[in-house]
Structure 1
Amino acid sequence: MTNSAQTGQTAAGIREFKMPDVGEGLTEAEILKWYVQPGDTVTDGQVVCEVETAKAAVELPIPFNGLVHELRFEEGTTVDVGTPIITVDTGGPATGTGAASAAQPAMETGAGAAAEAAEEAETAAAESAAEGEAEEEAEPEGRQPVLVGYGVGTSSTKRRPRKPVPGAGAPTPVAEPGRNGHGAAVPAPAGERPLAKPPVRKLAKDLGVDLNTVTPTGPDGIITRDDVHAAAAPEPAAAPEPAAAPVVEPAVAAPGARETRIPVKGVRKATAQAMVDSAFTAPHVTEFVTVDVTRTMKLVAELKQDPDMAGVRVNPLLFVAKAFLLAIRRNPEVNAAWDEERQEIVRKHYVNLGIAAATPRGLIVPNIKDAQDKTLPELASALGELVATAREGRTSPAAMSGGTVTITNVGVFGVDTGTPILNPGESAILAFGQIREQPWVHKGKVKPRHVTTLALSFDHRLVDGELGSKVLADIAAVLERPKRLMTWG
């Protein structure tokens, strides 16, 4: 993408900034919030708005200096990629798109504003992960389940400088950003945008907290999640429980109304289109098996007490994932994709394991890259980080691309099984149902055993019934006797 695709020149000194493609071939994005208004001064690299695509919420930096001339669209508007969204008076002559190129040296690599915005979003996600480590390590019992089964790299970024808060009267000590000369935390000066990471901004928006009124306690004057919670509820309060399912945008029905209409956009719109495309493109076949997982449940209980697994979450999903990976290793033909244009079956020699998650933004499927190479503790850590990141709304577009197979954990909702729809471009998806204690014939006697039902949907163009049955049978066999993880591995 060239620079001219991101910026343009209109009247003398008035330059346009166009909606970039902040994902992989996305065609539109919704403007969530403007951080500037007409007449405000902006500088190169300053974030001017937050947009939501079908994959992630991203902050967009302006690539030049000047005064905001016009905001072309209101908050909540969905805008096509390439459409001008803001104009800035740079105070210079009309020089065409060449001036845009000169003003954006950081974008001359060819990645353009899209890459810079995506990189900044991924960096914020990586930095924010540290804040959620404690929450990832332990989840309170009785929490509402997060659907697991239906899409961060690290980079460097520069924070925008904050002017120190001047004292009154005699000269004062030099102040850190967000603190006065005596080291006390203070809110951002009026008219200056507070420093906060994207997840924290979203949290503040959800809680109705004005970041300009929040006193930062983080390093370099950054507002943390705890700061936002403290501003929303001064008395100590427990962190809110994660949503158990996609949260529908709030809509208030008028008294006596018989219907409520909710716009379909963002992740929900993308998910709907993807499911329609998958359902009517790939011929689905779904097979089922009910399996005694009593031994797996005992192993889960034992590993929770194992010092080598300290700090990671051990649960049945971990063993379902490991069993799926082992089944793929034994039947590598199932890990493939159908190339319609070239009429080829593409075998994948790696497994990017998708784990579906219900988030406030909708249903997404982030995936664990090269999951086939991970040990059990490494896989447990990756699963915990993936789910926690999705729940916090910090999943990056890169984390949702390139999946090969997926697991959808419908059992957390008390559901026995289902017929899952393939994610586009993937060959198989495994539905993991609830584990229930029920009567089961074991060693010739009826005994109470822990039992679950698995359902495997696959693309019948490249996975025939025999191959699909072998994969599902291998998964069931491992969960019935988990020692096969060693003997088969």
Structure 2
Amino acid sequence: MTADTSVRFREFKMPDVGEGLTEAEILSWYVKPGDTVTDGQVVCEVETAKAAVELPIPYDGVVHELRFGEGTTVDVGTSIITIDVAPGSGPAEEPAAAEPPAASVPTPTAPAEEAEEKPKGRQPVLVGYGVAESSTKRRPRKQAAPSPEQSAAAAIQAEMNGHGAAPAAPQDRTRPLAKPPVRKLAKDLGIDLATVTPTGPDGIITREDVHAAAAPAPAPAAEAVPAPAPAPEAALVTAGARETRVPIKGVRKATAAAMVGSAFTAPHVTEFVTVDVTRTMKLVEELKADKDMAGLRVNPLLLIAKALLVAIRRNPEVNAAWDEAAQEIVLKHYVNLGIAAATPRGLIVPNIKDAQDKTLPELASALGDLVATAREGKTTPAAMQGGTVTITNVGVFGVDTGTPILNPGESAILAVGAIKLQPWVHKGKIKPRQVTTLALSFDHRLVDGELGSKVLADIAAVLEQPKRLITWA
């Protein structure tokens, strides 16, 4: 009796991992056909217009098919992986016979040779999910014998291409083992992982292996995942090229659209103030030695964030949003403090929810977690939604100041410049002092010059005399 394929095979579709997102790019697959998966196991990492997100599978079973390769952008709602939830119940037939996929779903990127037979034994599964037993062998697909005319045509074509008349034996197309950051590095450098000699444990390719492969004279870059047809020559990067074209997608595409929309929708005004932060820097050193702050990330940004929260408490009208559809100004009684973070995928702005209620140790802990998560590329879309004001620390790059563009939907953004030792008039004498320049951009529909100036002046006053963190609290 033939198994009921409508029940046996389950399709997992690309979910909307953000609010209203329409597509996502598959960055890495953590499984391959034949691997056993369990409900809740992460099977891939995708990048949306907001962040990189790991997707768990909601089924127990065996991976039957990966419908798209790494680097492919897939529409939300499209099937990306097929799971055999009843392995061993009979011959594995194509699930399309019972549940045809959408017309937009292309043929699998994995070649037939790879899918037909999987090696027995224990195969390493990367990204921390242990080792999966895999002894599944798919029934070979039946292929009709070529006609004499087809054989002759193939031989002539092979001769014209300089490969000889005899067809080459099928190559072993087993997917090289490498962690997602290493795969991304290889992709950025144009290195085909199949050509890299692994030196890591269990045959895993390391970052050093990729750099070693990139050291010789570069050859045309091959795609990381085999495609049904060869890549067009226009997509290849050759040695001595005068230009390199990078597709605009994911976080960078979303950021560009948001910045253009913000710059040409909200009338920006930027004000500047240069302030002596010597006392703040001394307080930072004292807090680092305080036992109540042990294990926490203590730096000038922590006290600058606290100073901004104090200024908002004294001038709550600055924490607002413009509702064009309702023709209303929305005054917010909470502060979701955004921190602009530069990542390899582009600029992101995760925020600390209800930052106004946090103590200094709690704020330090939240800042540390936010930065660490952003650097690992694990910031979720939810962490970047609902921000009210933002801090961007351009000083870490040695920049004195700038004119920051508002994060869409927010009323103000504070840019912090580099803190430098400069000559400064202190108590009537010129002395070397720690000095920085602050820049506050705000939406002039919501914040007029008086309010914006008060906010910036309050921030500067707290940083000049950090005891105001207590007296103004």
TM score, norm. by length of structure 1? 0.65
1:409 matched residue in structure 2:
393
User: Are residue 282 (structure 1) and residue 260 (structure 2) matched?
Assistant: no
Aligned to 2:180: 202
* Shift, 1:413, TM fit: 0.6
In the other structure, the counterpart of 1:140 is none
Aligned to 2:54: 59
Question: Do the aligned partners of 2:35 and 2:132 also contact (CA within 8 Å) in 1?
Answer: no
Equivalent in 369, 372, 392 of residue 356 of structure 2: 372
- In the alignment, the residues of structure 1 paired with residue 440 and residue 368 of structure 2 have an alpha-carbon distance, to the nearest angstrom, of 23
Equivalent residue, structure 1, for 2:75: 80
Matched, 1:317 2:301: yes
1:381 corresponds in structure 2 to 365
Question: Which of 445, 459, 462 is the aligned partner of 2:429?
Answer: 445
What residue identity is the alignment partner of 1:19? M
Q: Deviations over 1:440-468 (max 9, x none)?
A: 22222222222111000111111111111
Alpha carbon RMSD of aligned pairs, Å? 3.9
Shift of 1:187: 7.4
* Aligned position for 1:49: 44
Query: 1:235-384 alignment to 2 at 5 Å?
Result: 253-384=237-368
The answer (yes or no) to whether the contact 1:431–1:455 under 8 Å persists in 2 is yes
Counterpart code for 1:476? A
Partner of 2:175: none
Asked if the contact 2:321/2:410 (under 8 Å) is kept, the reply is yes
Mapped partners of 1:484, 1:52: distance in 2: 43
The answer to which structure, 1 or 2, has the higher relative contact order (CA under 8 A, 6+ apart) is 1
Moved more, 451-460 or 264-273: 264-273
Change in Cα spacing, 1:87 to 1:213, as seen in structure 2 (3 Å) is farther
- Output the CA distance in 2 between the equivalents of 1:319 and 1:343: 36
User: Which residue of structure 2 aligns with residue 458 of structure 1?
Assistant: 442
Task: Give the drift of 1:29.
Answer: 0.3
Match of 2:20 among 6, 11, 25: 25
Distance 1:423 1:284 in 2: 11
The 3 A distance-change label for structure 1 pair 451 and 394 is same
Residue 473 (1) aligns with residue 457 (2): yes
**Partners of 1:298 and 1:263 in 2: CA distance:** 46
* CA distance in 2: counterparts of 1:90 and 1:375, whole angstroms: 49
Query: Does the aligned pair in 2 maintain the 1:284–1:458 contact within 8 Å?
Result: yes
Instruction: Give the 3-state SS of the residue equivalent to 2:410 in structure 1.
Output: coil
Aligned with 1:383: secondary structure? helix
Q: What's the CA shift for 1:353?
A: 0.7
Q: Conserved in 1, the CA contact under 8 Å of 2:36 and 2:132?
A: no
Q: Distance in 2 between matches of 1:318 and 1:44?
A: 40
What is the distance in 1 between the residues matched to 2:456 and 2:50?
30
Distance 2:35 2:466 in 1: 63
Amino acid aligned to 2:26: I
Which of 337-346 and 32-41 deviates more?
32-41
More divergent stretch after superposition (41-50 vs 337-346): 41-50
**1:33-62 Cα deviation digits (max 9, x unpaired):** 234455666665454432111233223334
- Secondary structure of the equivalent of 1:439? strand
Give the aligned residue type for 1:375: T
What corresponds to 1:188 in structure 2? 131
Q: What is the total number of aligned residue pairs between the two structures?
A: 363
Q: Structure 1's 381 and 11: CA in aligned 2 closer, same or farther, altered over 3 A?
A: closer
Following superposition, the deviation at residue 303 of structure 1 comes to 2.2
Query: Unaligned 5+ residue runs, structure 1?
Result: 1-8, 93-98, 101-163, 166-176, 179-185, 193-199, 217-227, 235-249
Query: Is the CA contact 1:70–1:88 (under 8 Å) kept in the aligned structure 2?
Result: yes
SS in 2 for 1:311: coil
Superposed displacement of residue 348, structure 1: 1.0
Distance 2:61 2:285 in 1: 61
Report % sequence identity: 78
Paired AA for residue 26 in structure 1: L
For structure 2, the residue ranges without an aligned partner over 5 or more in a row are: 90-97, 100-120, 136-177, 187-192, 210-223, 225-234
Question: Partners of 1:263 and 1:233 in 2: how far apart?
Answer: 26
What SS class does the counterpart of residue 74 from structure 2 fall into? strand
Name the CA distance, whole Å, in 1 between partners of 2:449 and 2:13: 49
How big is each residue's C-alpha offset from its partner over 1:338-365, in whole Å with a ceiling of 9 and x where there is no partner?
1111111111111111111112222111
How far, CA to CA, are the matches of 2:358 and 2:251 in structure 1? 29
In 2, distance between residues paired with 1:10 and 1:457? Answer: 59
In structure 2, C-alpha distance between the alignment counterparts of 1:70 and 1:191, rounded to whole Å: 15
Q: How far did 1:291 drift? A: 1.0
Q: 1:404-438: per-residue Cα shift (whole Å, max 9, x none)?
A: 10000001111010000111111110000011111
Q: Is the 8 A contact 1:339 1:345 kept in 2?
A: yes
* Cα distance in 2 for residues equivalent to 1:465 and 1:408: 21
> Are the counterparts in 2 of residues 28 and 81 from structure 1 also a CA contact under 8 Å?
yes
The 1-side partners of 2:334 and 2:7 are apart by 53
Aligned residue identity for 1:414: G
What corresponds to 1:482 in structure 2?
466
Residue type of the alignment partner of 1:441: V
Partner Cα distance (2:54, 2:360) in 1: 36
- Contact 1:46/1:61 (8 A) holds in 2: yes
Corresponding residue to 2:29 among 22, 25, 34: 34
Change (3 A) 1:434 1:252: farther
Look at both structures and tell me which one has the larger radius of gyration over its CA atoms.
2
